[in-house]
A and B are shown apart, each in its own frame.
Chain A
Amino acid sequence: MNFNFPLILLSVIVFSGVVCLIDFIFCICKGESFFEKKKRPLVIEYSRSFFPVLLLVFCIRSFVAQPYRVPTGSLEPTVMPGDFILVNQYHYGVRFPIWDKKLISVGEPARGQIALFYYPVDHALTFVKRVVGLPGDHISYINKVLYVNGKEQPQKFVENVTRFNDFGQLTTYQKYQEILNGVKHDIFVRSDAAKGNFYNAVVPKNEYFMMGDNRDESDDSRYWGFVPEHDLVGHALFVWMSWDSNAAHWYDSLRWQRIGNKL
């Protein structure tokens, strides 16, 4: 059992909700008004105050949108470490958290979208990557170029970029613009990294092949396999905050230019 935030939140909601319900039954039995303003014992008072607020937070987080902080550079240059992104929770279907049961089907992931999902090996972690392969697709990666169903996904060189990677090493990346199924986005590749060629990996039914845009520094489907449909959480919409924790001065930490970037 993973004691993650949704489970803790739901536990508090259940506790406060049941306390409110029992108190409501007591009010009916004693002929009191449930909404009468008077001093009540602490447990009941707090439960009555917090229950509706927490329920609202839970519903919004679970069924509408939730914020997510990106800790690594696996999706660079599109998403930087320290970016806070807003995730549409219902884009891939309305699901009840914790049990991950799909309640209503809304849409399916499309190639090129950035999706949030539970890390298939350990559901306590959530990952954010780009959807590259849909069920039934044949994915090849040859000389750092993607092929989906035999069709090359074109790349155009943009520039060389030198920066510190997640391990604090100064690294030079080649920045390319890739067009994945019509979706234009930038990627990083490293000329000094292994090619990592593979041919015709077939995406199983109801599963997806995910990759980071930082192709040589991304822990993605190439390492732990395909993402089952039921592990999908939502579709990343935009960057609503960006905080560079490695900035020299605190006043340089906020990356204003990244706020509002559509994903």
Chain B
Amino acid sequence: MNVRVLICTLAGIVAVALLLLFVPIQEFSAKGIILPAKQVRAAISPESVIIYSQTPQANFTRLGEVRAEIEFSVLDATVKDKLFEKVKTMAASVGANGVIINLMLPNNGVRQMLTFIGTAIYAPTSTTRSDRP
């Protein structure tokens, strides 16, 4: 290999490396939607939303359905925290102070992601109890 070929090849490799360096890395952020029920309430703070793994015994009003997905490489607590943060924000937007988990399923197929489907509810604060998953 002569010097000319060597320099051309090296310059090409460096250029590709530089290109790859500037390619944006996609962050794994949760995406989702709240599908509101007919009656919703005024928005509240996401911090006051409780995630229930089982239907609470107290009376509650259904305010909508929350659906969210997040991509992951390793399914750890951080992934779930990000997902719950998104779920709480969406639920709070319709005034729900609780979300009952109907489905939380990791998909390890072509799309490696965690899918969440839950019911956004409002239960009077005096009767709600934390039942975190």
Contact = CB atoms under 8 A, between A and B. Distances in A.
A2 B8 contact: no
Contact of A122 (B37, B38, B113): B113
B98 to A, nearest CB: 18
A193 interface: no
Interface string B92-104: 0000000000000
B15 A222 contact: no
Contact of B36 (A7, A18, A201): A201
Contact of B111 (A1, A10, A122, A196): A122
A7 B23 contact: yes
Contact of B33 (A2, A22, A223): A223
Interface string B7-35: 11101111110011001111000011111
Interface in B50-87: 64-65, 67-71
Contacts of A199: 36-38
Nearest to A139: B35
A2 B26 contact: yes
B42 interface: no
Nearest to B7: A22
A201 B65 CA distance: 11
A128 B31 CA distance: 18
B24 A99 contact: yes
B78 to A, nearest CB: 16
B24 A222 contact: no
A26 B33 CA distance: 58
Contacts of A120: 31
A223 B12 contact: no
A88 interface: no
Interface string A121-157: 1110100000000000000000000000000000000
Contacts of B25: 1
A151 B65 CA distance: 22
Interface string A165-205: 00000000000000000000000000000001011110000
B113 to A, nearest CB: 6
A198 B35 contact: yes
Given A2-B26, A44-B8, A198-B64, A18 B15 contact: yes
B33 A11 contact: no
A14 interface: yes
A12 to B, nearest CB: 8
B23 A98 contact: yes
Contacts of B65: 198
Nearest to A209: B33
Contacts of A260: none
A50 B37 CA distance: 57
A225 B33 contact: yes
B132 interface: no
Most chain A Cβ neighbours within 10 Å, of B26, B70, B113? B26
A41 interface: yes
Closest 4 CB pairs of A and B: A198-B35, A225-B33, A15-B12, A18-B15
7 contacts: A7-B23, A14-B15, A121-B70, A121-B113, A201-B33, A225-B31, A225-B32
